[in-house]
Structure 1
Amino acid sequence: MVYVFFATGFEEVEALATVDVLRRAEIDVKMIGISGNEITGGHGITVQMDAEMGSITQMENVEMMVLPGGVPGIDNLKASLDLKALISNGFKNDCYIAAICAAPSVLYDWGLIDQKKVTAYPNYLKQLDQCIQIDEAVVQDGKLITGKGVGVALEFALRLVSVLKGDAFSERLRAKMVMPTIESR
């Protein structure tokens, strides 16, 4: 099971492309609303959630948790003490944690990724001064996966598929999606 967390002001492409690609890969994905059952993104798109944050009671089948970027979405993610506890627990229990664009700053501000290799949207990457900053599209450091921004959302999502279902599966899905391989920068 994968949880993708949505907060008001989320970046629609990062969140929905990730959910879409994971579902194409037949991975069980739940869209979790931080503050309700319908969440509106930064560009005015409202999305019906599969569940609300308050309904999450167990983590035993969760393999991965994903934080999309977007402003003010990341501020709303950061304000959720329940989410902070859940993500902290995920790190302790060897769960994959993924964040894209500005969202790695949430993990950083919570003190969870010091000395980890990360990428993020350029203005946010330079703020992660206790991390090992990598200027690439997608960076993986153990079970932490970070993406640079909206332009690499599909590449980010395919990396998540790769860690959950293997590289060969991810490459077959890439071919079905007619998606070229991008060079990391």
Structure 2
Amino acid sequence: MMSASTISIGLLLYPNLTQLDLTGPFEVFARAPNASVHLIWKTLDPVVSDRGMAIVPSATFTTCPTLDVICVPGGPGQIALMDDVDTLNFIRRKSAEVSLVTSVCTGSLILGAAGLLKGRKATCHWASLQQLALLGAEPVSERVVRDGNLITGAGVTSGIDFALSVVAALYGDEAAQAIQLHMEYDPEPPFVCGSPRVAAKELVEKASAEISPFIAKRAAATAKAAAALSVDGHHE
């Protein structure tokens, strides 16, 4: 484990991300002992999430301090980042200095576009999970997946589980358990349908049909990123 006084965690903040992918982990990380948490984007202008929440960055790609952890959240805005050279280069640079490379939801696809998932186990939102294979990863249908220094979380709400796992990796289980208790993270969802594994077949089919045009758009961006990787030769 690392010294508590040294932990610097950076979360990528970008337009049209899903705010809970970022704010769930942020809440956990900000409660960790002596952690310094940074919200990073190209400028310090407010960034608007896919549902309209404005969030203010605290650092830019240029001013970002040395990090121990980098976390990339997901959301619809992920598609635009799949070939965003500035963002992908920033992630590559930071991945070389951090102890943990992490993501929530479809943030793992951005990591893949940066060439960081080749031969690694990873997860993301269930509707886009198999797209990870296009980027050289081994898709794993679990809520939190760790492969060496890579920790990835599944869809949206798994960001809290993911962040607690990251804190446990950095500080030990007791620190993570204390945060979970302080947050009263004791979920009892009103319905047993939060994953295709447990939801009714008809509900899964309806949800899949509703998002299929967007998933196809995302798949095209993933395929394009995969082709770029094969040409550029980026890999972990």
* TM category, shorter: 0.7 to 0.9
Greater share of strand: 1
Residues 1:166 and 2:158 are matched in the alignment:
no
Residue type matched to 1:177 in 2?
M
Deviation digits for residues 113-153 of structure 1, max 9, x if unmatched? 11101111122210111222211101011111101111212
Residues 1:81 and 2:88 are matched in the alignment:
no
CA contact (8 A) 1:39 1:48 kept: yes
Q: How far has the Cα of 1:64 moved from its partner?
A: 0.4
1:136 to 1:8, Cα distance in 2 relative to 1, 3 A:
same
- Matched ranges for 1:2-21 at <5 A: 2-21=9-28
Unpaired runs of 5+ in structure 1?
none
Unpaired runs of 5+ in structure 2?
1-7, 189-194, 198-236
SS of 1:70's equivalent in the other structure is coil
CA contact (8 A) 2:101 2:149 kept: yes
What percent of counterpart residues are identical?
24
Q: How far has the Cα of 1:79 moved from its partner?
A: 4.1
TM-score (norm 2): 0.70
Residue type matched to 1:138 in 2?
V
CA RMSD of aligned residues (A): 2.1
Residues 1:133 and 2:139 are matched in the alignment:
yes
Match of 1:34 in 2: 42
1:136 to 1:177, Cα distance in 2 relative to 1, 3 A:
same
Greater share of helix: 2
Residues 1:63 and 2:71 are matched in the alignment:
no
CA distance in 2, matches of 1:64, 1:30: 10
CA contact (8 A) 1:7 1:76 kept: no
SS of 1:13's equivalent in the other structure is helix
| Farther off after superposition, 45-54 or 85-94 | 85-94
Number of equivalences? 180
CA distance in 2, matches of 1:94, 1:34: 20
Residue type matched to 2:178 in 1?
R
Deviation digits for residues 29-84 of structure 1, max 9, x if unmatched? 0111234421100000001111222323x53xx10011110102x13433442332
Q: How far has the Cα of 1:163 moved from its partner?
A: 1.7
Match of 2:156 among 150, 168, 173: 150
TM-score (norm 1): 0.87
Specify the structure having the higher radius of gyration (Cα). 2
